[in-house]
């Protein structure tokens, strides 16, 4: 086998547990991975193991170095201490799972079986049962009493009773269940993959002799020169080496207007060249490429199960011994094998274990189709449970394309110089306000070459640097006035005027003196007030807005959005603290943010939501990503979470009710075993199809549907 180590965590000494995640270098089927899993589980000292057929990965936990060595020997054929990953830029194999059986068994059962001789029908039943019997026997030999063992026992009981029609029906319905799960899982994960995919297969590299050659994206290396022309997607992160172009960064920042990029400028994967041509020196490859991130995301999203999904799976496993015990009691009391078999033919575990993951996957796929990347089933549950909504202001409640409307200089300073210095410092940062300052300087034709010393972004504060030996600080009022101790009274009158208009203010201090400020008009998103009202209708008890602006500006924006609770002059660290305080009060917080500053609060919340036009860090930290620059996706996400949980609860109740009726019917011989098995499996398929309904029915927008609490 050809596996390489993706990640490893070791204990403090050789006696403690460790874990290793490995991935296949070449295509491998789900069946081969499953067989690999079984072999791993037989190694002494391997405490747990799992596989992910979608990306060809294996995860195992070991108790000692010897177990680790044996596992590596199994996966590679070499007893080595560490294995190299593939060369940088090599894309991981995202694999197709094997189709369990499709609809052919159903067609064979309906149209072919009735015309077969009795002997052939019997042989056909036995042959179709063999895979399920083998699966159950393997599970039993590994010491597991799970659903596979129960299915095998039910089929064996039917074979003993020579009820071959029931055997055929059981294998048919079990196969249909596997096909249904496969189809939903594949379609769901394909949608999630597509929503994050760069959709670039090959790139043009500039060779040393000046010629251009086309190579697969997976072969791009750091420091390669990539050529991108009009209309082309930029496939890498890098620095412009030559050329000039307008780059549309809407996919990263939400800013609709093209941004000029020339030699020395930074560009990012996923953005598009609108006009011009660029030669880009690659700076980000290997584990940082989008292809590798997609594979990792798929692994993590499948692993992040909702707690209700885990409960359903635990209940399903617990139901299996109960079913066997009940069958044994019935046989001891009645000595009637048919009655005991009827218990095995009707169980709760199949529907419990199948319907909930199908509901979660279908809903995640539905979210991807409607502009929501939900990074795991647990966050669907969190979207349902949240009762407190917290918004960041800039770039979230307001548009992500603010503009500078006024530049105000303090006595002794020039307006153009204030703007030039601020643009010089702010051009290094991706926040919408920083881009607005840089854009204003470009409009006025101000050159702001990098003459300053190294720029330092002080998280929770602002920007610090120096120019010609002079100390420079750019940031909010709190940073300049309270943290840096700068007297801003020379601008007090202008501050009052601009704040009353609801404008955000950014200050510049030089050598401990206030040099000036810019007033930024950041209009509220047109849908903000409607979305806030809709979210209240969907059960949110409290809605808050957090901002670093002063109270007057914050009040104007909050009033426009229909929010009656806000916190002004809030530092980024305070945002996280406020979220934690709300959580300690028993609130389940849904936090919506977009900036680097919002990342701690997004992490501290019950569920964090980021906008597509936010910073990379915010999008990475968030649990839910809205892939359209529109707050209406927040309403759809809440609706999706609530509907998914409501459907899971309904399926749970339906499973218990229907299977209890079928079980009692079999015990009192009101239903023959074959009919009990048919009804049981049809009910399992029924709740599974019901679990999938969210992706078959389009979600309505807030304008079309009056939200209900």
Q: Which residues are catalytic?
A: 392
The β-bridge relationship of strands 202-206 and 212-216 is antiparallel
Residue whose token pair is 């009033």:
559
Helix 673-691 / helix 164-196 crossing angle, nearest 10 deg: 10
CB 145 within 8 A of CB 321: yes
| Alpha carbons 439 and 260: distance in angstroms, whole number | 10
If you compute the radius of gyration of the chain from its CA atoms, what whole number of angstroms results? 31
Q: What is the tally of helices (H) and strands (E) in the chain?
A: 23, 24
CB 546 within 8 A of CB 575: yes
CA–CA separation, 20 vs 68, rounded Å? 8
Crossing angle of the two packed helices 337-345 and 307-334, in degrees rounded to 10 = 170
Secondary structure (3-state) at 670: coil
* Helix or strand (DSSP H, E) at 48: strand 46-52
Beta bridge partners of 277: 244
Structure tokens at 153: 């026992």
In angstroms, rounded to a whole number, what is the distance separating the alpha carbons of residues 401 and 688? 45
- Contact 271/246 with Cβ under 8 angstroms? no
Sign of the four-CA dihedral 205, 208, 210, 213: negative
> Among 226, 255, 264, 258, which residue's Cα sits nearest to residue 245?
258
481 vs 474: CA distance, rounded Å: 11
């Amino acid at each position: 086998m050809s596996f390489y180590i993706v990640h490893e965590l070791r204990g403090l000494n050789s006696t403690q547990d460790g874990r290793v995640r490995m991935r296949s270098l070449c295509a491998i089927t789900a069946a081969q991975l499953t067989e690999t899993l079984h072999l791993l589980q037989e190694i002494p000292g391997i405490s747990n193991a799992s596989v992910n057929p979608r990306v060809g990965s294996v995860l195992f936990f070991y108790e000692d170095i010897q177990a680790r060595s044996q596992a590596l020997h199994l996966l590679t054929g070499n007893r080595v201490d560490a294995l190299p990953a593939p060369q940088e830029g090599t894309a991981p194999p995202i694999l197709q799972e094997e189709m369990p059986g499709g609809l052919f068994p159903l067609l064979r059962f309906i149209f072919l079986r009735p015309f077969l001789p009795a002997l052939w029908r019997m042989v056909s039943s036995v042959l179709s049962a063999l895979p399920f019997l083998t699966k159950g026997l393997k599970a039993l030999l590994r010491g597991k009493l799970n659903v596979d063992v129960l299915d095998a026992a039910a089929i064996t009981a039917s074979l003993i009773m020579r009820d071959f029609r029931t055997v055929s029906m059981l294998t048919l319905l079990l196969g249909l269940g596997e096909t249904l799960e496969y189809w939903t899982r594949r379609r769901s994960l394909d949608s999630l993959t597509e929503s994050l995919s760069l959709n670039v297969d090959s790139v043009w590299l500039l060779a040393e002799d000046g010629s251009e050659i086309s190579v697969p994206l997976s072969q791009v290396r750091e420091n390669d020169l990539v050529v991108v022309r009009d209309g082309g997607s930029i496939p890498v992160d890098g620095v412009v080496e030559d050329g000039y172009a307008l780059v549309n960064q809407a996919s990263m920042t939400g800013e609709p207007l093209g941004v000029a990029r020339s030699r020395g400028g930074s560009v990012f994967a996923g953005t598009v060249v609108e006009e011009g041509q660029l030669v880009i020196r690659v700076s980000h490859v290997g584990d940082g490429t989008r292809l590798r991130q997609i594979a990792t995301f798929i692994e993590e999203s499948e692993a992040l199960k909702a707690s209700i999904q885990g409960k359903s799976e635990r209940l399903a496993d617990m139901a299996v011994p109960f079913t066997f015990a009940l069958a044994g009691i019935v046989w001891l009391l009645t000595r009637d094998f048919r009655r005991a078999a009827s218990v095995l033919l009707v169980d709760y575990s199949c529907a419990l274990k199948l319907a909930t993951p199908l509901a979660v996957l279908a809903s995640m796929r539905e979210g991807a189709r409607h502009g929501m990347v939900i990074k795991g089933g647990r966050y669907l549950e969190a979207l349902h449970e949240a009762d407190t909504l917290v918004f960041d202001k800039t770039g979230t409640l307001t548009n992500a394309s603010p503009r500078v409307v006024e530049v105000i200089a303090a006595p002794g300073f020039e307006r153009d110089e204030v703007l030039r210095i601020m643009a010089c410092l702010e051009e290094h940062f991706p926040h919408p306000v920083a881009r607005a300052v840089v854009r204003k300087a470009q409009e006025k034709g101000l050159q702001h070459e990098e003459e300053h010393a190294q720029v330092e972004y002080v998280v929770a504060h602002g920007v610090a640097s120096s120019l010609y030996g002079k100390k420079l600080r750019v940031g909010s009022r709190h940073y300049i006035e309270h943290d840096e101790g700068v007297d801003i009274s020379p601008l007090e009158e202008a501050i009052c005027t601009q704040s009353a208009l609801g404008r955000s203010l950014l200050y510049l201090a030089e050598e401990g003196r206030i040099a000036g400020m810019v007033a930024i008009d950041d209009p509220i998103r047109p849908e903000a007030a409607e979305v806030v009202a809709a979210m209240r209708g969907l059960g949110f008890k409290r809605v808050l807005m957090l901002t670093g602006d002063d109270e007057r500006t914050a009040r104007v924006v909050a009033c426009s959005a229909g929010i009656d609770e806000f916190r002004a002059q809030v530092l980024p660290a305070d945002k996280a603290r406020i979220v934690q305080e709300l959580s300690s009060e028993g609130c389940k917080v849904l936090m919506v943010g977009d900036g680097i500053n919002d990342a701690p609060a997004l992490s501290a919340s019950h569920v964090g939501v980021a906008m597509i036009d936010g910073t990379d860090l915010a999008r990475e930290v968030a649990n839910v990503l809205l892939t359209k620059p529109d707050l209406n996706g927040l309403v759809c996400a809440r609706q999706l979470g609530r509907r998914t949980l409501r459907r899971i609860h309904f399926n749970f109740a339906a499973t218990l009710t229907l299977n209890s009726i079928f079980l009692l019917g079999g015990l009192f011989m009101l239903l023959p075993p074959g009919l009990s098995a048919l009804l049981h499996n049809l009910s399992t398929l029924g709740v599974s199809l019901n679990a999938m309904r969210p992706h078959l029915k389009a979600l309505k927008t807030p304008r079309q549907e009056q939200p209900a609490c």
